[in-house]
Every structure is written in structure tokens, then in C-alpha cells.
Chain A
Amino acid sequence: MSEQELRSHVGPYFGEFGGRFVPESLIAALDQLEATYNFAKTDPEFALQLAELHRTYTGRPSIITEVPKFASHAGDVRIFLKREDLNHTGSHKINNVIGQALLTKRMGKTRVIAETGAGQHGVATATAAALFGLECVVYMGKVDTERQALNVARMRLLGAEVIPVTTGTATLKDAINEALRDWVANVDDTHYLLGTVAGPHPFPTMVRDFHSVIGNEARQQMLDEFGFLPDVVAACIGGGSNAIGIFHAFLDDPSVRLLGFEAAGDGIDTPRHAATLSLGRPGVLHGARSYMLQDEDGQTQDSHSISAGLDYPGVGPEHSWLKDLGRAEYRGISDDEAMQALRLLSRTEGIIPAIETAHALAGALKLGKELPAGSSILINLSGRGDKDMETAARYFDLLDAKG
């Protein structure tokens, strides 16, 4: 495979993965989105608008923080964090949302809908809707509205309608189903602002492009500030957007290993996990062919994770492709490993990460011990942990007993 070949790849297909496995009713909207996006990509005005919003609203570029005390628990390595937690609304999700909100305006649509798991994508979407004057409806699994209640309040405060989804497993997968049903019925005035690199073409390519700013900045920052590229780039994987965002700039740097950490829930050898790439097999879910968790009959299997944002039985098609090519590696991290890493980063460095992100941190702690002395790991710190305080308080018994 020649240099540049991986970075320049676009959908609809990533090898045998991707495509558009959706009802015909949505094809016109996907075609319109693709045409609008393709035009915007070549329009200097769009690039300027996006860059200006990132500078004055999102807070980009995000900084890089080296975390030596945390790294001392990971063998003899240096660890660097790309601080997407410092973005407005507290995670990487805003990068994609601002891009798609601009496209929504260009398409003349007045209403956006979104799915959300952890609530971070929902909050980012509600934020952009407020900024751009769009009507906003967010679908969120009932289970997730409970474990991420703070984010439900944030979305409602921002003026969005949050609809708890009770069908199926009442988590992220079912929120996507509900959003797709809404979209089929309201496609005229509504854009589905999908929050990760899954779904039908052009979403995997477009969402990746909007997040590639993470890796583009980080690669240059590593060279400028430290004078080298990291040996490993690591990220957590739900649908895969923060991971592809930081991986993309490094795809054609053969010296850089790419590691994605999935949620292994109770453990990679138990039935309760969300380790799609490690334990799934290819199939069609939510409009794309990709690895997924399913039974023999092709029924989607329930996923399990303490982290709402990783609790998803599918994954973006580009990750499936990178896995089969051997360009990226994917491993599972259990609930407990993630929670221990969350506490460790908080105590050693004064940074409280999201539980999703903590999976990448835990992965780095284990990986560091396998690497040669002096190796460096760049981690995408995809989000901050405020939303997870209830879960953490319960997990670590942090609150005084009531009454």
C-alpha cells in the first residue's frame, strides 16, 4: 500500500464495509447531503466559516498536555493528552456538530434531530441548534437518560426537546432507530445530525473529515512542541469518531501504531461487553456494513458498558477496514479497568476524564508496560467527566450516606 493511500480514502465503501443500507425514502436526503458536503469541501468560504467558529466558539486549537505522573503507572513511557475535553460543551463531539450545522443551514433545513448515548453529542447538537436558530429534537435511550441525567438537563436548558426511547434495549442503538424513523417521516425540513462515524454514506466520511482536525492539530503540535511523532496514538471506540479523528492524520505514518480501546464491560471473556471489533463479525446495522455484535440469525445483540457513549453494538465502517488491513489494532477494556484509570488520572494530574475516555487511558496503562523504554503514547482525551459524577460517586462510594 503506497503512502497517502489510506488518508485519501473516502466512502461509500471502505473495502467491503460501508455503503447505504437504508430505506429508499432516505436516499434523496443522503444524496442532497453528499452533494452539499462535496461542494462545501471545495468552497473556501465554508472552510473559513468553520475555522472561525472553531477559533471563536469551540475553542480550537485544543492543547496537548503531557502527564508524567500518570505515565509513571504505565511503565517507562511518556504520555501526551490531546485535550478535546477543553472544547466548548466538553468533548470532541462539537467538531462534527458545528460542521453539520453549517451544512444544515446550506440545505435550507430548519430542524435537526440527533441520537445520543452519553449525552455529549446531544448537548453539542442542542448547543449548535441554539447558536444557529434550529429546532432540535434529541433521542436518548431511557437507560441513558437516567445514567446521564445531568446532560438531559443541559439539553433541555439549551432549548432542545429530549425524547426518552423505551423500545428495544433503551440505549444508543434504539435511539438511532428512533431518529431514523423520525427522519424518514420528516426528511423535507429535517437533517439527521448523526454523532459518530457510523451510519450510511456520506456520514462515515463526512463525520471523520470534521473530526480530522483533532489529529491534524495533534500531529503538528507533537512535531512543533516535542520534535517527534508519537510511537502510539490511542483512543476509545464507541462508534469511532474521536478515534478516527485522531488516527486519520497518522494513517500514512508507518512508524505510528494506532490503538483503539473498546468497552469490554464485565470482561472480554464474558457475554456482557460492547467489544464490537474484538468479538463481532461483519453485518449490516444502521445503514452500513461493518463489524457488529449479533447472534447467529443476524439479530443485533445487546451491548453492555458502564459508559453510555461506548454502549453500542456497532462501529464505523472505516475502523472495520483498518482492522482487517491490520493498520489499527483494537482491544477491550473492562468497566473496572476504565474506572480505575479515571480515578488515577484525576488524582495524579487533576484532570477528570469522561468514562468513555477512561477506556483509552486504561488501555495506555496496560500498553505502556509492553512498549520499549522511552516510547511515547498520544491519547485522545475525548471528553471531560462532569457528566459521570453520579456514576463515579456510586462506583467509588464518594458521597456521604443520606439521612
Chain B
Amino acid sequence: MSENTSPTANRLKANRDAGRGSLVGYFPAGYPTIQGAIDAAVTMCENGVDVLEVGVPYSDPVMDGPVIQEATQTALEAGFRLKDVFTTVREITKVVDTPVLVMTYWNPVLQYGVERFAADLAAAGGAGLITPDLIPDEAKEWLEASEKYNLDRVFLATPTSSDERLKRASELSRGFVYSVSTMGITGAREEVDKLARGVVAGVRRVAPEQNTCVGIGISTADQVDEVNDYSDGAIVGSAFVKAFQHGGLEELKAKVQELSAKINHS
């Protein structure tokens, strides 16, 4: 049903049907400048990213590690304004047909007006929102607005989520469910991987039709490949931002090609 009308879900499914995996790539809007982020995002989409996440710089990013914190802080100091996210999405979707999700903490959306944000995002060609600090329980307004404007809504599933919560997040998500490891960047990789497998298995169990992608601080081609064995896509953020910080567009391009190499050749 609604899955078919989501370009994000369609893209993930098309890749799966073609026997390959998917790479979801994150880059913050406004970093290092508005245009710089647009160029970086387009480069990512043109070199192997299947679904793009554009991050909204925010003053209190409690879910972000140091790399993304530093980038988004730089964007804010350079004068990023919330409305710039619509420009960013519009310019990217003009050039590429990659689905573009916006990843944002909730207060900026709330202050802009939930319905107004949805309308402007849809008008800019955005696919929907990933909301790291908005759980389904608090999302009434967003559920209504996203229905009205036909937008994806990506809620989080974690190793500590109860079956009941996994079910609710899976049923209410559109596009995909974001399976995260609460252990974040710490902990041995094997252990993290086991947790991620558990979350994905949980989502599959309660919502077999739903897509789910995994974000666990993935930074290598092997990890991208492995995650795609049991889920619908691997989400990579810090590794791309770090590559860009290091060597600009060239290194970013190389990193995207590197991380998508294995899943492209299946």
C-alpha cells in the first residue's frame, strides 16, 4: 500500500530485486557552506549512495558523535538557517533522482510548524524525515502531516525496544525503519553486529513487509556488505563526513565508491 508510493521504499526494493544491497549516506546541510553541502551530497548520489540523508544542524545533537557534532557546529557558526535545508534539498533533487530524507531533531520542526515544514519539504522534492528524538508516542502531529503530504517517516528500532514498541515503530514508519545499536561506537564489532542482527530480526518478525536499514557506525566496505546480507541497507554518516574533512570532494567520492563497491557487484 503506502509502501509503493514511497520512493525510498521503492529504491530499496528495486535494489533487492536486482540482487544488490543499498547504501544510505548522511551529510549535514550547511557544511562547510550551503553550496558545499549540496555539491557533496550530489557527489555522493552520483557515486553509489542509493538513499541520501541530509542532516539539519542543531544546537543540542544528543545522538551525534564528535565528527558530526563538529561539522554541524561549523555549519551553525557559518550562519546556517533552517530554511536553507529546503534550498539544499531542492538543489540536490534537481540534479539527481536519489530519494532525499531529512534527518532532524524535533525542536526545529516544531518551531517552524510541523505542517508547514512538511509542506515545504514536499515542495522542495524531499522524501521525508528521520526523527532521532521523536518516538511514535509523541508524533501525532507528524503522523498527520506526513500522511497529508505523502512523506516518509523513519522511526528508530533499538536492541532494547520491546516487541510492542518494535511493532509500533515498524507499522508507523514509511520508507524504512532505522535499526540502531544502542552501544553506538563502543564495543567490539562482533558484538555490535550481533545486536544489529537481533534488531533486524525483531523488525522482520513483527513487520515482515517493512524495510529496515542498519546504522551502527559502519565505516568499511565489508561492514556495508555484511549488513546488507540481513537487512535492506547500510547507513553511513561519520565516515563520509570524516573523508570530506580530510580530502574534500575527491576523498568523499572515493569513500562512497569504496563503500558501495561490494554491494554493486553481487
Q: Give A contacts to B, CB under 8 Å.
A: 19-25, 27-29, 167-168, 173-174, 177, 180-181, 184-185, 187, 283-287, 294, 296-300
Contact = CB atoms under 8 A, between A and B. Distances in A.
A173 B107 contact: no
Contacts of A296: 111
A283 B60 contact: no
A296 B184 CA distance: 32
Do most interface residues of chain A lie in helix, strand or loop, or is the interface mixed?
Answer: mixed
B165 to A, nearest CB: 7
Contacts of A300: 59-60, 107
Given A24-B161, A177-B62, A184 B184 contact: yes
A180 B69 CA distance: 14
Contact of B160 (A20, A27, A284): A27
Nearest to A281: B111
Given A27-B160, A298-B82, A187 B135 contact: no
B69 A185 contact: no
Contacts of B156: 23-25
B107 A283 contact: yes
A315 to B, nearest CB: 15
Contacts of B183: 185
Contact of A297 (B65, B111, B160, B182): B111
A167 B69 CA distance: 9
B58 A299 contact: yes
Contacts of B81: 297
Interface string B233-248: 0000000000000000
A381 to B, nearest CB: 32
A21 B109 CA distance: 13
A70 to B, nearest CB: 39
Contacts of A284: 106-107, 110, 133
Given A20-B137, A24-B135, A24-B156, A168 B60 contact: yes
Interface residues of B, number: 40
Residue with the highest number of chain B CB atoms closer than 10 Å, among A21, A28, A300: A21
- Which are the 9 A-B pairs with shortest beta-carbon distances? A298-B111, A28-B160, A297-B82, A24-B156, A298-B108, A298-B107, A25-B182, A300-B59, A299-B59
Given A25-B158, A297-B81, A20 B135 contact: yes
Contacts of B180: 24-25
B76 interface: yes
B132 interface: yes
A174 B73 CA distance: 13
A283 B155 CA distance: 20
B71 interface: no
Given A24-B157, A297-B82, A297-B108, 15 more contacts: A21-B135, A24-B156, A24-B169, A27-B135, A173-B60, A177-B62, A181-B63, A181-B65, A185-B186, A284-B107, A286-B60, A287-B133, A294-B107, A298-B109, A300-B107
Contacts of A297: 81-82, 108, 111-112
B111 A185 contact: no
A283 B135 contact: no
Given A23-B62, A25-B158, A27-B161, A299 B135 contact: no
23 contacts: A19-B138, A20-B135, A21-B106, A21-B133, A21-B135, A22-B135, A23-B132, A25-B160, A25-B182, A27-B160, A167-B69, A168-B59, A174-B60, A185-B185, A187-B182, A283-B107, A285-B60, A294-B111, A298-B82, A298-B111, A299-B76, A299-B108, A300-B60
Interface in B134-148: 134-135, 137-138
Contacts of A19: 138
A152 to B, nearest CB: 23
Nearest to A183: B62
A286 B63 CA distance: 11
A14 B232 CA distance: 40
A187 B184 CA distance: 11
Interface string B173-215: 0000000101111100000000000000000000000000000
Contact of B165 (A24, A173, A294): A24
Contact of B133 (A22, A187, A283, A294): A22
A187 B182 CA distance: 8
A24 B155 contact: yes
B162 interface: yes
Nearest to A296: B111
Contacts of A298: 82, 107-112
Interface in B227-263: none
B184 to A, nearest CB: 5
Interface in B68-123: 69, 73, 76, 81-82, 106-112
A253 B145 CA distance: 43
Contacts of B134: 21
A296 B110 CA distance: 11
A100 B134 CA distance: 26
A374 to B, nearest CB: 46
Contacts of B112: 297-298
A285 B134 CA distance: 12
Given A185-B182, A299-B58, A299-B59, A29 B160 contact: yes
